[in-house]
Amino acid sequence: MICALDVGNTNIVLGVFNNNYDLIYSWRLATDISKTEDELYVIIKNFFDDKDIKFTNFDGVVISSVVPTMMFSLELLSKKYFKKEPIIVSNNIKTGLKVPEPYTSKLGADRVVDIVGAKVSNYLPAIIVDFGTATTFDYVDENMVYRGGIICPGINISSEALYKRAAQLPRVEIAEVETSLGMDTISQIKAGLLYGFIGQFENIIVNMKKEIDQDVNVVLTGGLSKLFAKYSDKVDIVDEELTLKGIIELYKMNK
């Protein structure tokens, strides 16, 4: 088996693949930069025990992280408990992605794995939108050439900022709404966040397509991708496993 760790600013997605590279289990846990390798081991062991999986069952480990402060603990976790030298997603490994200057050294691991996932899923050419802590938009052509993108604050960041900076406004959960005409504070905040970010998403897609000289798929991934797809006709594909698909493909290319 292969263990894949996708480490974002908010959550870590842990995926277990069999030797045919099929995803068989996945879990989500909160990102906590204070966690040591031993603490991470205890958390992951609980997931594994539930499925009767042992650390000795694994042939390899691959890590994609946008949280540099966690890399020391993650690498120690792999070496100490999996007994494996991990493959780290970076610009120093084979990806198949062609990134023109000046982007070459700056494209994050999260975006690289999404693009590779889109490639193996036959989605290219595509605008890939990842609704994470930040919302990223990346245009990649059919030849795996990166053509540019956009980074925006994520909807949860905006929700949290509203709660922290406006003393009388509560923290709300991002969820579906039934109307844009809220009759109380919570429903108005929910509608404002959702419809505001739908408008942002659609306007960005419209403007990106104006500059692209071919038909492209709009591919959504990330925790809120299904929610956004329900409210917009600009979406072609929703793939919540896109990141893990990209990570395991990079493992295959670099093992």
CB 252 within 8 A of CB 21: yes
Residue ranges of E strands in 155-228: 217-222
Taking Cα atoms as reference points, which of 204, 202, 224 lies closest to residue 157?
A: 224
CA torsion, ordered 117, 121, 123, 128, to nearest 10 deg: -20
Question: 217-222 and 126-131 as β-strands: parallel, antiparallel, unpaired?
Answer: parallel
Element (DSSP H or E) covering residue 112: helix 109-120
Question: 60-65 and 2-7 as β-strands: parallel, antiparallel, unpaired?
Answer: parallel
Q: Which of the residues 6, 110, 138, 239 is marked catalytic?
A: 110
110 catalytic? Reply is yes
CB 170 within 8 A of CB 163: yes
Dist. CA 141–CA 228, nearest whole Å: 24
Catalytic residues: 110
